[in-house]
Structure 1
Amino acid sequence: MTSMGKFIKRLLLALILLIVAFHVLVAGLLLMWKTQPINNSMFMLTHRLSGGSVTQKWANYDAIAKSAKQAAIVSEDSKFSQHNGFDLDGIEAARKKNEASGSMSAGGSTITQQLAKNLFLTSHRSYTRKVEEAIITVIIETLWDKQRILTAYLNVAEFGEGIYGIDAAAHHYFNKSAATLNRDESALLIAMLPNPKYYGKNKGDKRLRNKQRIIQRRMNNAILP
């Protein structure tokens, strides 16, 4: 074997070991976070490194209003309680939409996939990131139950500039705790999730208010874990 061939072999081995080490770290953190509050994520870390401040306070499952959990499911992942981390119908629909547009504008991501991205990855869209997201999604679904996944998602999701988690959002926008959110407030906060920085400064936006109404109409259909 030539020296170049040996170098490439060593490089590939180092890359494989690095990937394995990363996933071992992910699994270790998930095991710790199975019972402990999560007060940091890749999105929060990126925000801090860019010079911003982060506001976040952990709220347990029972300290989050039922309406907020219902709103999250009907808006972000209607089959959340039935699937194992992947909505195949949603993925297929997103694939067709991306092929038609020639971009990766649609992701078809479940709540678990979004949580994997928020905790460990970045917002950069690529097929490589989607593969990594899928691997972490499997690990999350293996180690956590659905209540923990939904709780973690609502606690690390971004609801505005530097505002992370449903409790911080409830205090910021309504001066109340996540436990006391009503249906209108819950629907509005969840409707902000696709573009929280923009909607946080434009709460009267017609698209936001229309989505809020749609979420409210569907809320009773949510199957909670």
Structure 2
Amino acid sequence: MQPEKRVNRLRTPPPPDPRPSSPMPPTNRPNSGRTTSPSSSPRTTSSGRPSAKKSAMNMLLRKQWQQGRAYVRQHPWLKMVSLLIARTILVLFLGSIAWVVALKYLPVWFTPLTISRKWDTIGTDNSSTIYKTWRPFEEINKEAALAVVASEDQQFPYHWGFDFDEIQDAIKENQTRKRPRGASTISQQVAKNVFLWTGRSYIRKGLEVYFTVLIELIWGKKRILEVYLNVAETGPMTFGIEAASERFYGHSAYTLSRDEAARIAAVLPNPNQFSIRRPSSYIQRRTRQIARQMRALGGQKYIRNL
């Protein structure tokens, strides 16, 4: 008779219980009114899989994508057209950046606005001579620079191309004004005068925003103001501060006084209607207002660190 073998019950698990010969029938308990858990919801499974509705939508999108690819394979010209459009957009994008970089250093001798004014005089009795003289920023009296900032865009040294507070104020005022008031900054005016055609459209406005961002990033404030002082329309067929000073005052823009600079800035909203040489009572009143604003801003030191 062999001795009974000891079993280490701490290391060896006990033998499993024998399984029942037949499964127990499930009990049908009545629903006591308890809400089902989120895991039993028909929309998602317990493993976090997407709902049946989302799966059906994914299958529909996948099917449409496959049908689109098959349609393009059946019509090879569509692929050629899409590639041509993509390459055109890329060329225009790179070309616009190169154009902006080049004009950071080169004088802006002509703009779409000067060409338009020249074209309008063809076949008429009006003079077709364009008065325009480029002057570097250092050769223009800073009173002129301060005057246009005080008149057109007092937040010019601080914003990044757009004055959103002024835009909101203009939207509120234009709800009751008969003639809409603009809220374009000096940067926006330079962008549309130098790079865009004349007129109004949503496409032009979108391009204006695009070029405004570019010149703010690439040119900087000083170059933007320099270009504005040279391309802004200051009178009939007259563009720039230097041309206006020589034509209407008889001397260079380097020797402009504060009142003379303020009068040039006063006619900028409509230089073909208002006159620098023969200012109306409105222009005289506006000139005094701009001169007061120039003093309130602190004089030339306001634009010294552009």
Instruction: Give the TM-score band, short-chain normalised.
Output: 0.7 to 0.9
The question of whether the paired residues in 2 share the 8 Å contact of 1:161 and 1:196 is answered with yes
Give me the whole-angstrom Cα distance separating, in 2, the residues matched to 1:194 and 1:149. Answer: 18
Alignment of 1:106 onto 2:216: no
Which has the higher relative contact order, 1 or 2, with Cα contacts under 8 A spaced 6 or more apart?
A: 1
The question of whether the paired residues in 2 share the 8 Å contact of 1:55 and 1:163 is answered with yes
Tell me, what secondary structure is at the counterpart of 1:197?
A: coil
Tell me, what secondary structure is at the counterpart of 2:158?
A: coil
Cα shift readout 1:56-91 (whole Å, capped 9, x = no counterpart): 111111111111011011101000000111101011
The question of whether the paired residues in 2 share the 8 Å contact of 1:47 and 1:53 is answered with no
* Superposition CA RMSD, Å: 2.7
Aligned to 1:212: 287
Give me the whole-angstrom Cα distance separating, in 1, the residues matched to 2:186 and 2:271. Answer: 16
Judging changes above 3 Å, is the alpha-carbon distance between structure 1 residues 10 and 111 closer, same or farther for their aligned structure 2 residues?
Answer: farther
Tell me, what secondary structure is at the counterpart of 2:234?
A: strand
Tell me, what secondary structure is at the counterpart of 2:225?
A: helix
Q: 2:150 corresponds to which letter in structure 1?
A: V
The question of whether the paired residues in 1 share the 8 Å contact of 2:152 and 2:185 is answered with yes
Give me the whole-angstrom Cα distance separating, in 2, the residues matched to 1:68 and 1:21. Answer: 38
Judging changes above 3 Å, is the alpha-carbon distance between structure 1 residues 32 and 194 closer, same or farther for their aligned structure 2 residues?
Answer: same
Q: How does 1:106-145 map to 2 (within 5 A)?
A: 106-145=181-220
Shift of 1:133: 0.7
Judging changes above 3 Å, is the alpha-carbon distance between structure 1 residues 7 and 154 closer, same or farther for their aligned structure 2 residues?
Answer: farther
Aligned to 2:275: 200
Aligned to 2:141: 65
Q: 1:197 corresponds to which letter in structure 2?
A: N
Gaps of 5+ in 2: 1-70, 123-127
The question of whether the paired residues in 2 share the 8 Å contact of 1:65 and 1:179 is answered with yes
Alignment of 1:182 onto 2:252: no
Give me the whole-angstrom Cα distance separating, in 1, the residues matched to 2:263 and 2:77. Answer: 55
Q: 2:129 corresponds to which letter in structure 1?
A: S
Give me the whole-angstrom Cα distance separating, in 1, the residues matched to 2:210 and 2:274. Answer: 31
Give me the whole-angstrom Cα distance separating, in 1, the residues matched to 2:278 and 2:92. Answer: 39
Shift of 1:8: 8.9
Judging changes above 3 Å, is the alpha-carbon distance between structure 1 residues 111 and 201 closer, same or farther for their aligned structure 2 residues?
Answer: closer
- Taking only the aligned residue pairs, the percentage that are identical comes to 35
Cα shift readout 1:17-60 (whole Å, capped 9, x = no counterpart): 55554443332222112122111111112122333332211111
Aligned to 2:113: 43
Give me the whole-angstrom Cα distance separating, in 1, the residues matched to 2:147 and 2:257. Answer: 11
Judging changes above 3 Å, is the alpha-carbon distance between structure 1 residues 152 and 192 closer, same or farther for their aligned structure 2 residues?
Answer: same
Judging changes above 3 Å, is the alpha-carbon distance between structure 1 residues 61 and 202 closer, same or farther for their aligned structure 2 residues?
Answer: closer
Tell me, what secondary structure is at the counterpart of 1:40?
A: coil
Shift of 1:145: 1.4
Aligned to 1:74: 150
Shift of 1:14: 6.0
Judging changes above 3 Å, is the alpha-carbon distance between structure 1 residues 8 and 44 closer, same or farther for their aligned structure 2 residues?
Answer: farther
Give me the whole-angstrom Cα distance separating, in 2, the residues matched to 1:6 and 1:201. Answer: 62
TM-score after normalising by structure 2 = 0.65
Tell me, what secondary structure is at the counterpart of 1:196?
A: coil
TM-score after normalising by structure 1 = 0.87
**Relative to total residues, which structure has the larger helix share, 1 or 2?**
1
Cα shift readout 1:96-142 (whole Å, capped 9, x = no counterpart): 23444588x23311000000011122342333322211111001101
